Amino acid sequence: MADASSSDITGEKQTFKIRRLEITDKRNGYMELLSQLTVTGSVTDDEFDQRFKEITSYGDDHLICVIEEESSGKIAATGSVMIEKKFLRNCGKVGHVEDVVVDTEFRGKRLGKRVVEFLTDHCRGMGCYKVILDCGVEKKEFYEKCGLVNKGIQMSKYF
């Protein structure tokens, strides 16, 4: 298993813990946090639990991390990574980072950078030869500060 253990981050009068998503995090503001990134819809507790169990069944190939503000238990930031297994590069692996968001209440505390570092460290530990992500132009500078470089453009087709 890659290094995905919890660690503490201390901010001004606040202590944050980075860890894997837990099934109880829905009640700690996880879905509300995701809604600051994009449309989440109305996910019931049962739907959340079912999807959580499905995702965790993939083990280290699909990791969702959260940063919890310890005094309140509120989820302050999150991100995920999926490991793609390829035939290229001697059956190499690529990490796909997705859904990085920091709650507006906690921005400016370098939590987003910590999420990206946690996820890229996980990919390194899993033997990935690279980590990729898609982002809007307005986020390019942030991801460059996290050590990523612009390698092209994103194409998509929504259904």
CATH number, residue 86: 3.40.630.30
pLDDT at 2: 40
Asked if residue 5 belongs to a domain, the reply is no
Is pLDDT above 80 for 90? yes
Asked if residue 121 belongs to a domain, the reply is yes
Tell which residue, 31, 37, 72, 67, has the closest CA to residue 52. 31
Asked if residue 114 belongs to a domain, the reply is yes
Asked if residue 153 belongs to a domain, the reply is no
pLDDT tens for 7-16 read 666 655 789 9
Asked if residue 8 belongs to a domain, the reply is no
Give the range of the structural domain holding residue 76, as residue numbers without chain letter: 16-146
Asked if residue 158 belongs to a domain, the reply is no
Distance CA 149, CA 130 (A): 11
> How is the beta sheet containing 130-133 ordered, strand by strand?
7-11, 14-20, 62-69, 74-85, 93-102, 130-133
pLDDT at 4: 40
pLDDT tens for 32-43 read 999 999 999 999
Q: Rounded mean pLDDT of 107-123?
A: 97
Q: Rounded mean pLDDT of 130-148?
A: 93
For the chain, how many structural domains are there in total?
A: 1
Asked if residue 11 belongs to a domain, the reply is no
Asked if residue 154 belongs to a domain, the reply is no
